[in-house]
Amino acid sequence: MKKIAVFTSGGDSPGMNACIRAVVRTAIANNLEVCGIMQGYKGMIEGGENFVEMNSRSVGNIIQRGGTILKSSRSKEFMTPEGRKKAYDNLIANKVDGIVCIGGNGTFTGAEIFYNEYGIPSIGAPGTIDNDLYGTDFTIGFDTAINTAVEAIDKIRDTADSHGRVFLVELMGRHAGFISLAATIAGGAELVLLPEVKEDHSKVVNFFKGRSNSKKSFSIVIVAEGNVEGGAFKIDEMLKAEIPNFESRVVILGHIQRGGSPTAYDRVLASRLGAGAVEALLKGEENKMAGLMNNKFCLTPFYDSIHSKKELNPDLVRLVDVFNC
């Protein structure tokens, strides 16, 4: 192996730049050439100026930056055989022997299909705030997203307390409630509605009906956007229809959770996974995702990472009810 490529794909997450930096500098330390592919799979298909030769200075002063210097995109064309053939031709034209792909479920799905068709070795680094990939305890960007959410919740609490209101705060997570669950505990919220846990309708209504008896002056409820009963606005409408004089406000944090400077933990995690991905390629590994399990580096086949369900920590789910007294 003489040359590798690195790219980011799908939704951006804080720490992607730290991972790019680790990939480039680890490659150089092992006498490999390295190129960055701009705009993910889209750039791989289009070729040309999207293939950028990188050196140590290319990744200077980026470890603290959110987003991705290589940019990102979602490519429908890559999901066609014709699109993947164009991508393969461009990789061969640029003499790429191996790939490090940084992204989430969709990125690794594309990487697995591409490997099965063309056999170019690839190792993935899990870059997604959702923390929903099987084979790693934490994904790059998850810790930063939690901290962003908790900072917002702390500020919302001041207003909720001042006015004695209920605030429904919607956090990102279409299919996974990892951010919402962690932010609920860290932010001291009283209730969380998750995609993985179907709450009884009457339980949610009775929770708010019982507020007056508990003498709580305000409440903060976290709603994951993929909650089975609907998002924060839907829950708000339901409660107002069933509880007279129910006064509440809805806050949707949205994409603010995907931006910002990565936390120290995300920078270290991204650095370990980026370096480990390059070293795995050099050892002959392929078609796998790099991760940390019990703080130890590990590799999980893309298929397992994509198709195996990562479960919420039941202890954390239990603690939400324990603390709500």
Answer for the pair 102, 37: CB distance below 8 angstroms, yes or no.
no
Strand ordering across the sheet containing 191-193: 191-193, 219-224, 166-171, 248-252
Cβ-Cβ contacts under 8 Å for 319 (sequence gap 6 or more): 185
Give the residue among 121, 129, 184, 176 at the shortest CA–CA distance from 152. Answer: 184
φ, ψ dihedrals at 256, nearest 5°: -60, -25
Q: Examine the residue annotation and report whether 12 is marked as an active-site residue of this protein.
A: no
User: Is the Cβ–Cβ distance between 100 and 274 less than 8 Å?
Assistant: yes
Angle at 272 between CA 268 and CA 274, to 5 degrees: 115
What does each C-alpha distance from 53 to 34, 87, 157 come to in angstroms? 6, 17, 48
Rounded CA-CA distance 21/30 in Å is: 14
State which amino acid sits at residue 81.
P
Closest CA to 193 of 137, 231, 240, 245: 231
Kind and range of the H or E run holding 35: strand 33-37
Q: Catalytic: which of 89, 97, 130, 315?
A: 130
| Cα radius of gyration rounded to whole Å, the chain | 22
Q: What angle do CA 21, 285, 276 make, to 5 degrees?
A: 30
Residue among 76, 4, 9, 75 nearest 38 (CA): 9
Contact 103, 20 (CB under 8 A): no
Active site residues: 130
